[in-house]
Homo-oligomer: A and B are copies of this chain.
Amino acid sequence: MHSQLGEFELIQRFFKTGSEAMLSSKNPTILLGIGDDCALIKPNSEEAIAITSDMLVEGRHFFAKANPQWLGHKALAVNLSDLAAMGARPIGFTLAIALPQVDSSWLEAFSKGLFAVAQQYSCPLIGGDTTAGPLNICITAFGAIPHGAALKRSGAIAEDDIWVSGSVGDARLALAALQHELNLSQTDFQTIEARLHQPTPRIELGIALRGVATAALDISDGLLGDLNHILRQSQVDAEIFLDQLPKSSTLQRQSEAIQNQFSACGGDDYEICFTAASNRRDVINDISKRLALPITQIGKIKNMQSLKPTIHIIDRNGTTLSASDTEILLKSFDHFA
């Protein structure tokens, strides 16, 4: 890690203060935090370490002039969402950030959002890098999982149920309103805005699903597009019941086309999509109650019918959508579009 002089020492001290406040509670997993060539962590001997890295770029993942507090929240939350999808308990994270200039009010707000999430999930900042450059936020997050308990994408088998947590499509709806693709009342917008800017990583759910889910991932690019990763890695097909996709009452006030498109392919949901044997339904419903988090069965895993894993979409009449109609629906949110 580079040690910058001058203005950047100020920034580093800023982040270091937030980090030390959390590490002072004597986290036994973190042996060494910010300030040396490396951070040092040591999980329990029975645990593996989960690692995920996401890079957020201005104009791509967030608007120029984005609220820095929300940005700090989201930058860490999307990484914790990946840990959740693996069933990992957060350990800590590194932050590498390029800043176009040193703006202390921006940094204060960004840190506030960042450390609020870090505190909530007991996930301290343990190292990183700061530099000048076009705004770019790269967080690498670390979690611990009992050896063998990780929720991979490759374990789904035929006749497993497919589930999704919370509701899907609201982040896309908020984005559509911001981009003037559609009109939303002020009240409706305020109800769902946080889904876009301040996603909730489903850490407790991921941990609860250890030994229950056969495969899992978090939905960042759209439910169906992401589900495809499970299908490809598990070499299975899926049937999805389109009208079962869980939607907020706000989204339910939109046209059916928008409801379908946004819930199936919206992106930025950061809910967990997972598969489980059908004899685990009671367990899953109990988890849902305990966490006060809706978990909805939205389909079934099927044996592969062709050489390529396929999602068969069933509409409200029980009719399977044609390949071309499915194709249209599958046009998923693409950060590089």
Enumerate chain A interface residues (CB-CB to B < 8 A): 1-8, 31-32, 35-43, 45, 47-55, 57-61, 82-83, 85-86, 88, 94-98, 126-129, 131-134, 136, 138, 140, 142-143, 145, 147, 150, 152-154, 216-218, 220-221, 225-226, 229, 233, 332, 334-337
Residue of B nearest to A8 (CB): B336
Whole-angstrom CA separation of A60 from B8 in the bound complex = 14
**A53 and B96 contact, CB distance less than 8 A:** yes
Whole-angstrom distance from the CB of A275 to the nearest CB of chain B? 14
- Min CB distance A285 to B, Å, is 24
Q: How far is the CA of A147 from the CA of B45 in the complex (A)?
A: 12
B37 engages A48 (CB within 8 Å): no
* CB–CB A52/B35 < 8 A: no
- CA–CA, A165 and B324, complex, Å: 64
Chain B hits for A38, CB < 8 A: 50-52, 82-83, 85-86, 88, 143, 150
CA of A53 to CA of B141 in the docked complex: distance in angstroms? 11
A20 to B96, CA, bound (A): 26
Q: Is there an interface contact between B132 and A336, defined as CB atoms closer than 8 Å?
A: yes
Q: Given known contacts A86-B36, A136-B136, is B127 in contact with A53 (CB within 8 Å)?
A: yes
